[in-house]
Amino acid sequence: MKLLQKRVFFIMLCLISILIMPAPAYADMGPKPSVVIDFKGLGNDKYYVTLLSEIASTGPHSALGEHPNNQRYHEDDEDYEIWEKFISYQDKDGYYFLQYFRECSETSQFTWGYYPPPEFKILIYFPEYDQFAVSEDVYDRYAFHSYYSVDAKGLELGSTTLTENIKAVRNYDYTWELISLFARIIATIAIEILVALLFGFRAKKQLLIIGAVNIVTQSILNILLNVINYSQGSMMFVFDYIWMEAFVFIIEAGIYSSLLPKYSSMVVTKKRLVILYALTANIVSFGLGLYIAYLIPGIF
């Protein structure tokens, strides 16, 4: 029993070390919604992109004159002339330019990662032609992190002063979501079986029970967490992860207490040992899951 206690102590010590590792701290640490737009078909043309907003202010971004002294660019700034062009643009539906824009020529991608407007139009400016291109349709922030793709091959640059041929389609990476979902489930099962071996649960039927239970609980847990992360973001994900993991522990502890002692190679397997295993396994998988999410944000 002393050997087992040492193993448990070692596992908990490793977990605590992981969780208290220093991380960068900021005044506004919580994750924020984002909009990411990929562009195709624009070749080597230099262009700048912004989102025109239905509302005049969102987060730190606002239309010129909406708040006192809110002018974002001045004559000495590098992109002042581009800012002036966007300021001069008048949208026919009254959508606002919130003074946020980016040159996207090299990356072919525009990212508004801090309080993007909930509903928006896509506006592109081509300085070589002194020409705007705007989306006729209005798009929305359909997920916490919303992805769109624009195929701009049909733009007739240089022939007119304005074109409304921009069409965007949702481009959420569901394939990666499925891959990360299966990876998390497999990793969790592997961790809990490893902890089971350290606790002395090594009978084939015991490991099969642990594996089967985890396939069910972790599949349900991770599918629910994926839905939460998609719609509400990683802050709510972590909040729900905590109480859901506690609920999973209660379920697993009950099942393991009933079934694992029946197939134990030990003379006596006390239920409190089984419960301790369930608690340790869930804490370890929970802690490592958060740490992996910190190292690889896209995994959740």
Mean pLDDT for 237-263 is: 88
pTM score over 0.75:
no
Name the pLDDT band for 134 (thresholds 50, 70, 90).
Answer: very high
Residue 95 has what DSSP assignment?
P
pLDDT at 86 > cutoff 50: yes
Model pLDDT, residue 216: 93
Picking from 186, 214, 195, the residue whose alpha carbon sits closest to that of residue 274 is 195
Picking from 175, 155, 172, the residue whose alpha carbon sits closest to that of residue 163 is 155
Residue 299 has what DSSP assignment?
G
Task: Write the Ramachandran bin of 233: left for phi over 0, alpha for psi from -120 to 50, otherwise beta.
Answer: left
pLDDT, tens digit (0-9, with 9 covering 90-100), for 1-48: 445 444 544 544 454 444 444 444 333 434 567 899 999 988 888 999
pLDDT at 234 > cutoff 80: no
Give the percent of the chain with pLDDT over 90: 44
Model pLDDT, residue 26: 36
pLDDT, tens digit (0-9, with 9 covering 90-100), for 135-149: 989 999 888 788 999
Model pLDDT, residue 54: 95
Q: How many CA atoms lie within 13 A of 274 on its CB side?
A: 24
Picking from 256, 262, 228, 254, the residue whose alpha carbon sits closest to that of residue 243 is 228
Angle between helices 234-259 and 204-232 (to 10 degrees): 160
**Least confident stretch, 16-20, 104-108, 282-286:** 16-20
Mean pLDDT for 212-224 is: 89
Model pLDDT, residue 18: 44
Model pLDDT, residue 262: 85
Name the pLDDT band for 236 (thresholds 50, 70, 90).
Answer: confident
Q: How far is CA 124 from CA 16, 71, 105, 263, 269, in A?
A: 49, 21, 11, 67, 68
What is the C-alpha to C-alpha distance for residues 39 and 53, in angstroms, rounded to an integer? 20
- 8 A C-beta contact, residue 258 and residue 212: no
